[in-house]
Amino acid sequence: MVSDGMGPASLSLTRSFRQFRDNLNYDDILLLDKHQIGVSRTRSNNSLVTDSAAGADVFSCGLKSYNGAIGVDPFKNPCGTVLEAAKLDGYKTGLVVTTRITDATPAAFSAHVDYRFQEDQIAEHQLGYYPLGRVVDLIIGGGRCHFYPRNTHTPFNDGFGDAGCRADNRNLIQEAINDGWSYVGDRAGFDSLQDGNNVTFPLLALLADTDIPYDIDRNSSIHPSLAEQTLTALTALENATKDSDKGFFILIEGSRIDHAGHDNDPAAQVREVLAYDDAFKVAKDFADNSDVETIILSTSDHETGGLATTRQVSPSYPDYLWYPEVLLNASHSGEYTSAHLRESSLKLSNLEDLKNFVVNEILHKDLGIKNPSNEEINYLIKHATTARYFLNNMVSFRSQTGWSTHGHSAVDVNVYGYSNTDSGLIKIYNALAGNHENTEIGQFMANYLELDLSSVTQKIKDTVHSPRIKQDELSLDSDDTLIDNHEHHHVY
């Protein structure tokens, strides 16, 4: 399991938030906290500060590569992954994420391209259109747009979504169906899987055009939670392997903890961490109810945002304070709220109407801010189409939550481990207790499953991994392109 972008301060922030929200004792902790075994160092091959692509290569290939690399070594040679090796050795495999399935972390386990922005090619590899053929049995996440052509608009209820973004004319969803994949494209289709008891493999479940909304914004009638996705995947894979002497390997990612860090959005961040903790509980409960030795590893690829659970808000020596109630007052993320403001500002031509909307709907209702200054209100009116960071800073400032960057940091990240057997726990502790290089996590998984990654590397050496077209001609023309009110980034 990967908690993308979650550093130690994210746990502190979330722990205090939940204690306040639920009126819990100060010694109440998250489930994750009970299973911490160590920390890992996160630098990449070419920088002390890794991105998510290189940060995932260490888990998938067990080696350090350059920022942006997807399943390739520092010399851009494809490297065999734990998931691929597990599949070739007879295991079932799965990917469950809350971002695009073509995003860096899931891609690093299931594709091989020089740069993470090659999401059209990543989608092809994930469906088996590369030398190994299909190696993923179950896919659940977002990212429909890279599976069918740009400007494709179809009714949502046909399951295909409504906004394609591929640079070519391929409809990979239809190709996948023709090749035998079961396809699910909405909540009704997901519910038909019956918590994993009605799954036909291989399964392709793409539940959003881009990323699944932040948990603080998520409409449960439209998008399942990460915990629901996790339960469905684990149950389906268990059912598929009950008569096999091999089990399964699955990557489960709390993807949008990272996005909340990039946005410097503390209200979204704490809900994302809680959603991940819920998914970890589902995985642990699954292991506890299994009579097969099960290993659960959880860690982050890096920390995002340089988060601190305090902030100096005046020139004088600061008070030692942090206010979780401010985060509780917010009912939506800055992503949602800024889109709400942007769309409404284009419809409200009267300045007074726009001001009332900003105060009553955006600040009072969406963010729970009752004391905006005139300067803040005027800024939002003037910059109504580009206000996301400003809105998030209003929440951060009032809660005294600190951030040092909209990017990643080089801080060590926590490692968590669990097994339903004593022998499994001993193996985890012997390998990963204490402070370790992140590559040791990928190496441990390969060793535990007795996989030969080098033989897989030989089999994929002829994979086409270079960009087919220039970056500025890719399926999305800029990092600011909006699909379903989500920015689509290639740098996280």
What tokens does 176 get?
């996948």
Cβ neighbours around 41 below 10 Å, total: 16
**Residues 123-139: what's their mean pLDDT?**
99
pTM (two decimals)? 0.95
For the chain, how far is it from start to end, CA to CA, in angstroms? 18
Q: Which of 293, 304, 296 is nearest to 255 (CA)?
A: 304
339-372 per-position pLDDT tens digit: 999 999 999 989 999 999 999 999 999 999 999 9
Sheet strands side by side (includes 434-437): 295-299, 413-419, 36-41, 434-437
**Residues 142-153: what's their mean pLDDT?**
88
Give, in order, the Cα–Cα distances in Å from 469 to each of 86, 101, 112, 121, 465.
32, 21, 16, 11, 12
What tokens does 195 get?
């918590």
Minimum mean pLDDT among 94-98, 144-148, 258-262, 332-336: which range? 144-148
In order of start, what are the domains of the chain with their CATH numbers? 2-308+406-460 (3.40.720.10), 324-399 (no CATH)
438-488 per-position pLDDT tens digit: 999 999 999 999 999 999 999 999 999 999 876 435 554 433 344 444 455
Whether 223 has a binding-site annotation, put simply, is no
Whether 28 has a binding-site annotation, put simply, is no
For residue 378, is pLDDT > 50?
Answer: yes
Q: Which of 52, 338, 345, 475 is catalytic?
A: 52
Q: What is the mean pLDDT of the chain?
A: 94
Cβ neighbours around 441 below 10 Å, total: 22
Q: Which one has a higher pLDDT value, 482 or 35?
A: 35
Whether 4 has a binding-site annotation, put simply, is yes
In percent, the amount of the chain with pLDDT more than 90 equals 91
pLDDT band at 152 (very low <50, low <70, confident <90, very high): confident
Q: Which residue bears the tokens 């994979």?
A: 463
Whether 22 has a binding-site annotation, put simply, is no
287-315 per-position pLDDT tens digit: 999 999 999 999 999 999 999 999 999 99
Residue pair 6/300 in contact (Cβ under 8 Å)? The answer is yes
**Residues 248-263: what's their mean pLDDT?**
99
Cis geometry, peptide bond prior to residue 202 (ω within 30 degrees of 0):
yes
Whether 319 has a binding-site annotation, put simply, is no
User: Which of 350-358's residues contact partners 24+ apart within 8 Å by CB, and which partners?
Assistant: 351/381, 354/381, 354/384, 355/381, 358/384
52 counts as catalytic: yes
The whole-number pLDDT of residue 484 equals 41
pLDDT band at 162 (very low <50, low <70, confident <90, very high): low
Minimum mean pLDDT among 46-55, 148-157, 391-400: which range? 148-157
Cβ neighbours around 467 below 10 Å, total: 15
**Residues 41-59: what's their mean pLDDT?**
99
